[in-house]
Amino acid sequence: MTSNELSEPPTTALRTVARLALSGVLVLAGLSHLFWAREDFQAQVPSSIPLDPDGVVMASGGAEIMLGAGLAVLTRDRVKIGRIIAAFFIAVFPGNIAQYRNNQDAFVLNTDRRRFIRLLFPPALIAWALWSTAIPTPNS
């Protein structure tokens, strides 16, 4: 391996802060899946998934914790991790849609309007993951 392969790709202070903040959000969300909000997250598991909703919630919580931790410490691979996190947000989005379509109350999402507004968050999270982990271009 050359020293280039081991070095961290360039970033900016703002992207680093955004990346670490997203890391904290992921770890906290993952912990909430495992402990205090398990039942609320089960409301987001689409009935079309032929798996135990609690198992799905536990697995996705564990994935979020690992992704968040990786985002914080694996700086050399942060671009790949950002893309994996974006894919994760895309993968769990059908659960948000199912919660809206099935009128499932969870968290403070107890109206159609609130559940609809929540559907706007995943695209923002995807953009956050990709921007905070990207290698800046000269114009960024």
> Which string of DSSP letters, residue by residue, matches 5-73?
HHSPPP--HHHHHHHHHHHHHHHHHHHHHHTTTHHHHHTTS-TTS-S-HHHHHHHHHHHHHHHHHHHHH
Q: Which domain holds residue 74?
A: 12-131
In a domain, 4, yes or no: no
In a domain, 98, yes or no: yes
In a domain, 136, yes or no: no
Q: pTM for the whole thing?
A: 0.87
Q: Is the pLDDT of residue 82 over 60?
A: yes
Return the higher-pLDDT residue of 64 and 40.
64
CA torsion, points 23, 29, 33, 39, in degrees to nearest 10?
-170
pLDDT at 48: 86
In a domain, 137, yes or no: no
In a domain, 102, yes or no: yes
In a domain, 87, yes or no: yes
Residue 22 confidence class, pLDDT cut points 50, 70, 90: very high
In a domain, 75, yes or no: yes
Count of the separate structural domains present in the chain:
1
Q: Is the pLDDT of residue 87 over 70?
A: yes
In a domain, 139, yes or no: no
Mean pLDDT of 99-115: 87
- % of the chain surpassing 90 pLDDT: 62
